[in-house]
Chains A and B, each alone.
Chain A
């Protein structure tokens, strides 16, 4: 289950925010917000993707570095809502 979620999240981040980049460079612990990959609009797009794809609600205070900074964080956030 979490592997499938992880794969979908990674695929989205690669296609939406890292076009043309080597997929192997994006690790589960690559910093997305603090590393500058996700700005405010990208973060909102990611939240919309999470909500629509996994049928969960992300609260306003969860759209931050603590919950969305790495693929591992994102998968954990989704898992916590299932």
Chain B
């Protein structure tokens, strides 16, 4: 097996790290405190191609394969200390742009992809509802035939990017008798469609520069060509989004873990207590060694899963394994980083407390750890 990376991948990775470190980290403490989503930084990221990484050049992307996308997002997570911005970019790219690119017809791609790639549009993915998160069968949003199109009614919640979204992929029940497979349809809904509002904005523990909130659809009338994929084919659209999100969102987490590891090593080599560097204490050294092991193991899982996104019939099992392992490793790495920084780790200006707050959501979004374990068990035939 050849684990080397190409010169092009190395150049892309290095350029993103340099860009992120130079352009994305100013005032991050204040932006996090004030829950600020920065359209300016969003557009800057688009200028170097983040929002269109896997999309073909004809639609405004840079045409990177999934493995290269993983390396690029890892670089972004490493260089950018604004975890909320990285999360918003990933939610947009992996759960809106990718499904649009993979399942959209030519008219939809022509209409939306360039704007989604060039930073002028913000995308969202709306499936979760007040009464249905992991239990998608409990979805209450309905779409019924209306003239030449569809009438959609329902409320979505916990939708990343919702308060700033220009376009959303909205899932609705179109055939209650068929359930999730065959009974759910994905629709592309513009912010300007009458009856579509972006609802209540929510505050959260971490990832505060990423906006989250409700999307309300009050008898929104959409045309027939708003159907993404096929009528009843929403499960396929959702699966694409989840496979890419579970693999590539945690690719960004790898970068964060690398940064926290380096931060911890530097601190452990310079902070002295009882006449020696604290890194000489086994209790500290072992924590840092575990960070390294989890990072390297996680990277292999992510790269393998990313490869399968392009080359296998389904990457669903690999995606769940990678998501479970890396998200739990991220939380542990962030917690250990705070712990070994002692009192300084608890202070805002050291920025590791924010890394911990940002990390906590990782085992919840895109399918909780409990859901990932259940999915893995089902693949094992249990």
B378 within 8 A of A: yes
Contact partner of A51 (CB less than 8 A), chosen from B182, B237, B239, B313, is B313
Interface set of B (CB-CB < 8 Å, partner A) = 103, 178-183, 229-233, 235-237, 239, 313-314, 316, 375, 378-379, 381
Main secondary structure of the interface of A (DSSP, over half): helix
Main secondary structure of the interface of B (DSSP, over half): helix
Query: Which residues of A are found within 8 Å of B231, using beta-carbon distances?
Result: 61
Interface residues on A, range: 20 to 34
Contact partner of B182 (CB less than 8 A), chosen from A17, A19, A42, A65, is A65
Interface set of A (CB-CB < 8 Å, partner B) = 16-17, 19, 33, 39-45, 48, 51-52, 59-61, 63-66
Complex CA distance for A61 and B185, rounded to whole angstroms: 10
Given contacts A64-B178, A64-B232, 13 further A-B contacts (CB under 8 A): A39-B378, A40-B180, A42-B378, A51-B313, A59-B230, A61-B232, A61-B233, A61-B236, A63-B235, A64-B181, A64-B183, A66-B178, A66-B182
Knowing A51-B313, A52-B313, A61-B232, say if A41 contacts B181 (CB, 8 Å). no
Pairwise interchain contact A64-B182, C-beta atoms closer than 8 A: yes
Shortest distance between the CB of A51 and any CB in chain B (Å)? 6
Query: Which residues of A are found within 8 Å of B179, using beta-carbon distances?
Result: 33, 65
Closest to A52 in B: B313
Complex CA distance for A65 and B178, rounded to whole angstroms: 6
Query: Which residues of A are found within 8 Å of B379, using beta-carbon distances?
Result: 41, 45
Closest to B374 in A: A41
Knowing A44-B314, A48-B314, A60-B230, say if A65 contacts B375 (CB, 8 Å). no
Pairwise interchain contact B235-A48, C-beta atoms closer than 8 A: no
Complex CA distance for A42 and B317, rounded to whole angstroms: 12
Pairwise interchain contact B375-A41, C-beta atoms closer than 8 A: yes
